[in-house]
């Protein structure tokens, strides 16, 4: 086997996992990645998936909506099974206690692959990171991993269907919270990364002059209360500023491309974001564009650059999903991935180089 | 002295990317996300010891 995807909408854990196993009955995968609605009891689905695929490494997380080849789903479990023709080797570890995580996982990776993380070839290995989406620690984890290796880690923050009460990550039959799953893969096929967001930068600049990074809070832009400066940049009264958050987030521009930072709320004149922003950063006001057209274009460009795509893992921001739902475009978004084995989920944050918002990050196997 | 930060950044990019242009971009973006924007530093930039320490420690990580 190469890569196979499947999904189940059966209501209870045992039926859903049996359904998944049945659909993959002809396969003995080496790796199964799965994303599951929080409607499935987390401890039970983690254990059940590991029991259903005893010869495979299994990992995944809870979601705020699922994606599978050609479709966006809710209240489902989606799975991607990899044979040894697709993935030569994989090792999965858990970073426990995200307030003070140990990076011993990297020593485990080094033992498994027989190479130092510092020396590993980023064209040969790829990392996947699934973090507790309510931990607010993702930028610290991504930053630390980025210090330790040139291998790229891509991923998303687990969701919980917008309940904002608890998210879970899964690894080899166990369920964890306030933790992150890190997996290191040696694919047997070429791979690439796609980061796409549907925004264009506007000329208005907002420089962070005072911030509380740990709280993801910007107190001042351009030496003014953050909400006032943001409203001024938009040309609207501050009372109307929050209504523009979805369509006008801000972005850190690098080589013309935005790394989106999305406002969450106004708090006493300051602005709380979905990711940390450092003092001194110059941000551009952004204007939303067409998610469907932009995503399609990004995938076409990836094909042109790196060749046909044989599988996709899509970490798609919940804010993008909400916009698609509001505009009745989930079917169109799903259709973009028709014909290519795909799984993914609606995330509480996306990871690629850094921690991102309102973005889709994708691992593409060619 | 001035310009040491730029020299450290250039050295770090060279050390980590080893001429790979894609990796050079990744390393620059990682620095920007840490609050160190490579394009903000020139040969005349003052030698801020806090930024220099941060860069020196980062270079040690991959040695």
Q: What is the mean pLDDT of chain A?
A: 96
For the stretch A90-147, pLDDT in tens is 999 999 999 999 999 999 999 999 999 999 999 999 999 999 999 999 999 999 999 9
Judged against a pLDDT cut of 80, whether residue A150 lies above it is answered with yes
Q: Mean pLDDT over residues A48-68, rounded?
A: 97
* B63 touches A: beta carbon within 8 Å: yes
CA A252, CA B32: separation in Å to the nearest integer?
A: 9
Whether residue B30 and residue A146 make contact (CB cut-off 8 A), yes or no, is yes
Domain boundaries, chain B: 4-61
A90-104 pLDDT tens trace: 999 999 999 999 999
Contacts of B16 in chain A (CB under 8 A): 150
Query: How close A82 comes to chain B (CA, Å)?
Result: 28
Tell me, what's the pLDDT at A1? 54
Residue B1 predicted with pLDDT over 90:
no
Percent of chain A with pLDDT over 90: 98
Residue B62: the pLDDT is 64
ipTM of the complex: 0.87
Q: How many CA atoms lie within 13 A of B61 on its CB side?
A: 19
Q: Do A353 and B23 touch (CB under 8 A)?
A: no
Q: Which two tokens stand for residue A39?
A: 């409607």
Please spell the DSSP secondary structure of chain B, one letter per residue: -B-HHHHHHHHHHHHHHTT-HHHHHHHHHHHHHTT--GGG--TTSB--HHHHHHHHHHHHHT-
* Shortest Cα–Cα distance, A142 to chain B (Å): 10
Looking at the complex, report in whole angstroms how far the Cα of residue B32 sits from the nearest Cα belonging to chain A.
8
Q: Indicate yes or no: CB of A278 within 8 angstroms of CB of B34.
A: yes
Residue A256 has pLDDT above 70, yes or no: yes
pLDDT at B63: 60
Distance from C-alpha of A297 to C-alpha of A278, rounded to nearest angstrom: 32
Nearest to A88, CA basis, from A114, A69, A54 = A114
Q: Do A254 and B29 touch (CB under 8 A)?
A: yes
Q: Quick check: pTM over 0.90?
A: yes
Contact (CB, 8 A) for A162 and A75 = no
Composition of chain A by helix, strand, coil, percent to 5: 25, 40, 35
Q: With an 8 Å Cβ cutoff, is A124 touching chain B?
A: no
């Amino acid at each position: 086997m190469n890569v196979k995807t499947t999904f189940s909408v059966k209501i209870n854990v045992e039926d859903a996992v049996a359904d998944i196993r049945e659909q993959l009955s002809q396969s003995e995968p080496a790796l199964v990645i799965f994303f599951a609605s929080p409607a499935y009891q987390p401890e039970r689905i983690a254990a059940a998936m590991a029991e259903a695929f005893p010869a495979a490494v299994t990992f995944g997380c809870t979601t705020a909506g699922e994606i599978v080849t050609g479709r966006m789903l809710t209240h489902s479990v989606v799975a991607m099974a990899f044979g040894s023709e697709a993935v030569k080797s994989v090792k999965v570890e858990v970073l426990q206690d995200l307030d003070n995580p140990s990076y011993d996982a990297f020593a485990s990776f080094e033992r498994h692959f027989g190479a130092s993380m510092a020396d590993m070839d980023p064209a040969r290995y790829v990392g996947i990171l699934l973090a507790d989406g309510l931990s607010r620690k993702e930028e610290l984890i991504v930053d630390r991993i980025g210090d330790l290796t040139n291998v790229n880690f891509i991923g998303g923050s687990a969701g919980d269907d917008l309940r904002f009460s608890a998210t879970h990550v899964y690894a080899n039959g166990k369920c964890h919270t306030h933790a992150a799953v890190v997996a290191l893969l040696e694919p047997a096929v070429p791979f690439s990364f796609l980061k796409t967001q549907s925004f264009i930068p506007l000329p208005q600049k907002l420089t962070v002059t005072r911030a509380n990074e740990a709280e993801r809070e910007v107190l001042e832009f351009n030496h003014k209360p953050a909400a006032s400066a943001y409203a001024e940049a938009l040309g609207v009264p501050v009372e109307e500023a929050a209504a523009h958050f979805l369509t006008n987030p801000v972005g850190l521009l690098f080589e013309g491309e935005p790394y989106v930072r999305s406002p969450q709320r106004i708090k006493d004149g300051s602005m709380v974001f979905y990711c940390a922003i450092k003092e001194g950063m110059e941000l551009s006001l952004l204007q939303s564009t067409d998610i469907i057209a932009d995503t399609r274009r990004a995938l076409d460009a990836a094909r042109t650059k790196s060749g046909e795509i044989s599988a996709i893992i899509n970490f798609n921001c919940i804010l993008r999903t909400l916009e698609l739902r509001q505009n009745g475009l989930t079917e169109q978004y799903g259709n973009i991935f028709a014909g290519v084995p795909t799984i993914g989920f609606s995330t509480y944050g996306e990871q690629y180089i850094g921690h991102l918002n309102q973005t889709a990050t994708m691992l593409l196997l060619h | 002295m001035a310009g040491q930060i730029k020299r450290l950044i250039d050295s770090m990019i060279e050390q980590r990317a080893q001429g790979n242009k894609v990796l050079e971009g990744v390393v620059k973006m990682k620095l920007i996300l840490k609050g160190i924007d490579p394009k903000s530093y020139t040969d005349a930039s003052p030698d801020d010891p806090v930024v220099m320490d941060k860069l020196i420690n980062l270079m040690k990580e991959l040695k």
